[in-house]
Amino acid sequence: MTDFTQFPPSFTWGVATSAFQIEGGASADGKGPSIWDTFSHTPGKVIDGTNGDVACDHYHRYPEDVAIMAGLGVDAYRFSMAWSRVQPQGKGAWNEAGWDFYDRLLKELESKNIDAHITLYHWDLPQGLQDEGGWLNRDTAYHFAEYAAEVARRFGNRVKTIATHNEPWCTANLGYGNAQFAPGVADLKQSIQVSHHLVLSHGLAMTAMRKVGSSAQLGIVLNQWTADPATDSEADKAAAEFEYSRSVEWFMDPIFKGKYPEYALKVHGDNSPVVQDGDLEIAHQKIDFLGVNYYFRAFCSTETPPRQPECKLGKTDMGWEIYPDGLTELLLKLHAAYELPPIYITENGMANPDTIVNGEVPDAARIDFVLRHLKALNDARLQGVNIQGYFLWSLLDNFEWNSGYAKRFGIVHVDYATQKRTLKHSALWYRDYLIQQRPQTQLNAAHAA
């Protein structure tokens, strides 16, 4: 695919990572353990038997990684903070050495004129809080708000945005619903209650950060998809309606409408969450931006075995259908249903079985994937959706949760034995694409350094 889509000069171009997937330094300088440290060290939990102790060693190699970003010419870097690095137990004493690491990272980004977009929580709850019930314990939401306020107090005037959560759907459904992710619980009722505590914690954190006062835009990042029935059967259509309601509307409705979707509540029945008076008022408050992570659509079949999509554009190395049209459809559907703030596409990318060939890493499939999705989001933008930026997932190959190091999402190849970084063809393409997007005079001189 060779189509070139021109975006407005103000459009933000970035790359994204998360703390546990790249930082390493698992116990460095006073960091406490997280649930992913515990989970990844539990035999049988990670497919290839690895853990995140070293990952990409970003904790020690961040200057090199920021230099790579500068060379790509990106405007922005989205990353998460490791809560247990700055507050080892998730409550109580702060760890100044942990704060110092993020201070150094921010200074490095500032020196290259790269805007920082922080995510407070990307699934790595301090183990100390898990020992007290984790997200099933309502108190965790209040501890999270205290952590959020401290981040805003220290860094709120140095970063562009602060997102409370990344993909709370995954925390609830993969962490508590099917045990695929940490902490490894398989209990539907618990997962639904956890989802409510996450929504509550978002609202509490928003209030706490606003009280501190900062220049950062505040919001949340949700993974979302359309849900298409596999056939015209009533059963498939009902399955698709429920999938969209329990996944997308389940988090959007409390935030934007102050209530849970009635259809999902009806189907959940006795598994519906315990909601205290005032909880939904706390969740339902203005946010400055919405982050949307999009990778695939839901294809809903009630047949046995389930009918599969055609996958006309193939699948990623995760086995996910490549379906860029779903991004346009999703954005337009959200636009019609909610009064939305500005949107960032905060994650989009693909796992590809990349290998080094004669010193290079060809990944034409990833370039095609990104181009198609950029066209799809621009189609929605031209139809009135206020989309302000795009963050490619991911900058680096990294620890891909329960897949370990077997799946490569990065535009930069990482040799985990040596930590050598090699720019893939997609990274070189992204650099050239950004040059095309804006006049050379708009490129920051630091980016070319």
Q: Active-site residue among 23, 108, 329, 347? A: 347
Q: Active-site residue among 23, 167, 249, 321? A: 167
Distance of CA 42 to the CA centre of its chain: 24
347 has catalytic annotation: yes
Q: How many helices (H) and strands (E) does the chain have?
A: 16, 12
Produce one character per residue of 32-69: b if its CB has 16 or more CB atoms within 10 Å, e if not. bbbbbbbbbeeeebbeeebbbebbbbbbebbeebbebb
Pick from 68, 187, 96, 87: nearest CA to 145:
87
Query: What span, in angstroms and rounded, lies between the C-alpha atoms of 409 and 425?
Result: 13
Which residues are documented as binding site for substrate? 21, 122, 166, 295, 393, 400-401
DSSP 322: -
Query: What span, in angstroms and rounded, lies between the C-alpha atoms of 92 and 94?
Result: 7
Pick from 270, 246, 249, 248: nearest CA to 258:
249
Which residues are documented as binding site? 21, 122, 166, 295, 393, 400-401
8 A C-beta contact, residue 202 and residue 165? yes
Pick from 376, 377, 394: nearest CA to 166:
394
241 has catalytic annotation: no
Pick from 448, 359, 330, 347: nearest CA to 393:
347
**Hey, which residues are catalytic here?**
167, 347
